[in-house]
């Protein structure tokens, strides 16, 4: 009898754990889904347009509220709308990278929301900024011979 009660109690505990896990995985509440996890700029020229977009879709059954978007440094500036996103609807997170910085790009943006599946979603931008090598034209230097007469 003791074994039967212990087995039933353990079974109830295990089933309860699966029910809780199924609640989040099953889709109740707001759920965040991204069109991509990484935006690859490839190789871009210094000063080029460093703007990209990430499409955020609410695949859950309650309004998704994005509370903030934060770049990993000052050179990566995200913009996100904090208005609730209805189930099945989408919004855009715009990310602007300062392409005046020459070198590799490997930055992240953290999107904080009330999503049941990922309250903090991290997306990345990558690529490389190349210096175009063009500089402002300079006026030619007039060479003066040391023996040339000078005008006072």
- Domain 24-130: state its class: mainly beta
The pLDDT value recorded for residue 28 is: 87
The pLDDT value recorded for residue 5 is: 52
Q: Where are the alpha helices (DSSP H) in the chain?
A: 2-25
More confident residue, 110 or 3: 110
Q: Cβ atoms within 10 A of the Cβ of 54, count?
A: 23
Give me the chain's average pLDDT, please.
82
At 128, which helix (H) or strand (E)?
strand 120-130
Q: Tens digits of per-residue pLDDT, 18-61? A: 333 333 445 589 999 999 999 999 999 999 999 999 999 999 99
Question: Residue ranges per domain, the chain?
Answer: 24-130
Residue 78 has pLDDT above 80, yes or no: yes
CB distance 80 to 113 below 8 Å: no
pTM equals: 0.69
Using alpha carbons, list the distances in angstroms from residue 119 to 31, 36, 113: 9, 17, 5
Residue 6, judged by CB atoms within 10 A of its CB (0-12, 13-18, 19+), counts as exposed
Residue 17 has pLDDT above 90, yes or no: no
Quickly state the pLDDT bin for 80 (edges 50, 70, 90): very high
């Amino acid at each position: 009898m003791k074994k039967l009660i212990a087995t039933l109690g353990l079974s109830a505990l295990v089933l309860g754990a699966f029910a809780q896990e199924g609640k989040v995985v099953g889709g109740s509440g707001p759920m965040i889904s991204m069109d991509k996890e990484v935006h690859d700029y490839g190789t871009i020229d210094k000063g080029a347009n460093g703007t990209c977009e990430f499409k955020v879709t609410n695949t859950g059954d309650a309004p998704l509220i994005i509370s903030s978007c934060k770049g990993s440094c000052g050179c990566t500036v995200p913009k996100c709308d904090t208005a609730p996103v209805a189930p099945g609807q989408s919004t855009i997170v715009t990310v602007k990278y300062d392409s005046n910085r020459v070198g590799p790009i490997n930055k992240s943006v953290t999107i904080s929301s009330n999503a049941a599946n990922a309250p903090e979603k991290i997306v990345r931008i990558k690529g490389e900024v190349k210096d175009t090598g063009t500089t402002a034209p300079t006026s030619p230097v007039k060479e003066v011979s040391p023996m040339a007469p000078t005008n006072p």
